[in-house]
Structure 1
């Protein structure tokens, strides 16, 4: 495999991007190769962030000459601004750059927050890349429709997960799970409002929220709705704790307003949880409504409550949907095929030179 220098937020960070980085590094390691990774960001105070970025850039410059290509994980806003400096250094050295775009709000940022001068800067940066990896066909269409990147450089690479050895026993569970940062983008308020209706029919059900963010705001909403005693706010969950809460659940819900390709949906489905999500980002590439999961309208707690009640009322339905979801992940979103596809991208870029436009 080519010598890859990878940049992105700390692999110990919270969120889907760090999970993708870890999965890639581990999958490549199993094949007998290795990726040289540099952390460019940690969730810290402003001075600490600047220190980390400066140290990362200095280390990057010392390693740039010895690599065959640079793989940069990027979102939007500050993430783009930080990574653009690294991209320019690679372009000057003639190193091919693969940008891996994770930003679920990149479209909002580009269309509503950026002026034309900033959009020109963005298009110029992507024009210099050898390849742009996006997480879904929907995101590929966005970059093409807005003329941000040459269509020939855009590659769709769906996120992937490791498949757990055994599925959950959904028939033995009644609880509902949400994983992710608690904030407006992922809309935990929609699930809380749905929970109020569900609890009238299933008072023993617990609604668990695993994530950081504005926890106090949503705890207050649970109290306002009179359902606080049925809600658990767990904080950010990883590793064994996350597996435990997944295995203690029957239904997984992610009522987001924007997504890339949500890792939590893939993880929940890989365990065989019946999953409900909105048709944003790459979700429609994963969930076939009523077959291996359910698609819900954005911001519709009444619809969500009906779907949750159906799954809690019918254990056979929950099991069938969960089994079909797990099969989808096994066949199309497993790490082995993902690593193979990524390695082919690396090899093509290393053979093709800088790819600078």
Structure 2
């Protein structure tokens, strides 16, 4: 009998989807289902990702012809990513009759749909309905997709992260970390303006770990606002550096305008770091405002400054929220839960693999 096989189609670019793939690669899911990954996108000039999309499409077709995967699992954001993955979904599902999963990592999917030209919207709905299952990162995003395409079969499978040891507390000036791309959607410039409004404890520092097109503007704004003594731009950090940074900070801040269910927040919570973020996408499903972190409206720099200032001024409050965030991550967002739920979904869509030992969904 042919061994189970699932084809994962995703981007190789830095960011949440690549981090999600890397996190699950270390779980039993990849070996149980002999998961093979196909990259169809990466950073760089258009000619680079066009070539990668062409080669990735050819590889998907070749695997469907020669090995026929039991499931094609496509990981998609919005806009161009959805267009690319949608085309591949129709190829795998309609042409080769392979069961497909469309895994939406985009927190702004409803906004993307509303911006689509009216003639394009029926194609978006048809693509969602064509998938054997649409997976979202949170119930909030699942409801948004169902509102767009009532015929879609939608399942919510939260992201997961490896849970660290119980947090260790040290006495030192507080450190706040921003971890992500320096792009408009993540709003690093708004964060810097908010930081300038805070009456900070002596020695408090804001670390921006990331790179992107807004880095020159961020550097200029740090100088303009007189923040050179309290702000450090670290540049991009690799996947090994990120967890080490999270173990050395007290607060993780993410002031985004749009998000799905950001792994950076979950990784911080899994180490007892207090999250301060905007109430967008799937983030309210992660953080209970005032208990396991603080939530503020997107774009409200005064509210962001107030939330950051409150946790920096009260170390006991910061510790309580960090402890609550750690416990929530341990119970709800363990990577063990994620891979087991995907395993159960694969069994549902490919029942002929019943010979595999059952896995308890916890």
TM-score (normalizing by structure 2): 0.90
- Counterpart residue number, 2:85: 83
- Counterpart residue number, 1:94: 97
- Counterpart residue number, 2:210: 211
SS at match of 1:291: coil
Q: Distance in 2 between matches of 1:352 and 1:140?
A: 28
- Counterpart residue number, 2:360: none
Q: Distance in 2 between matches of 1:201 and 1:329?
A: 28
Compared with structure 1, are the counterparts of its residues 124 and 39 closer, same or farther at alpha carbon in structure 2 (3 Å cutoff)?
Answer: same
Alignment of 1:1-357 (within 5 A): 2-10=4-12, 13-28=13-28, 32-65=32-65, 66-90=68-92, 91-112=94-115, 114-146=116-148, 148-151=149-152, 153-169=153-169, 171-198=171-198, 200-213=199-212, 214-351=214-351
TM-superposed deviation, 1:35: 0.6
The answer to whether the 8 Å contact 2:270/2:330 transfers is: yes
Compared with structure 1, are the counterparts of its residues 189 and 344 closer, same or farther at alpha carbon in structure 2 (3 Å cutoff)?
Answer: same
RCO higher in structure (CA 8 A, sep ≥6): 1
Structure 2 unaligned regions, length at least 5: 354-362
TM-superposed deviation, 1:31: 6.0
The answer to whether the 8 Å contact 2:200/2:313 transfers is: no
Q: Distance in 1 between matches of 2:240 and 2:129?
A: 42
The answer to whether the 8 Å contact 1:272/1:323 transfers is: yes
TM-superposed deviation, 1:138: 1.4
Structure with more helix by fraction:
1
Compared with structure 1, are the counterparts of its residues 128 and 296 closer, same or farther at alpha carbon in structure 2 (3 Å cutoff)?
Answer: same
Compared with structure 1, are the counterparts of its residues 254 and 244 closer, same or farther at alpha carbon in structure 2 (3 Å cutoff)?
Answer: same
CA RMSD between the two structures: 2.0
Q: Distance in 1 between matches of 2:31 and 2:252?
A: 32
The answer to whether the 8 Å contact 2:174/2:204 transfers is: yes
The answer to whether the 8 Å contact 1:170/1:318 transfers is: no
The answer to whether the 8 Å contact 1:162/1:334 transfers is: yes
* Cα deviation digits, residues 45-93 of structure 1 (max 9, x gap): 2212121111111111111142101000011111122122211221211
Compared with structure 1, are the counterparts of its residues 28 and 14 closer, same or farther at alpha carbon in structure 2 (3 Å cutoff)?
Answer: same
Structure 1 unaligned regions, length at least 5: none
The answer to whether the 8 Å contact 1:175/1:205 transfers is: yes
Q: Distance in 1 between matches of 2:29 and 2:169?
A: 32
The answer to whether the 8 Å contact 1:170/1:319 transfers is: no
* Cα deviation digits, residues 215-236 of structure 1 (max 9, x gap): 1111112222111332111122
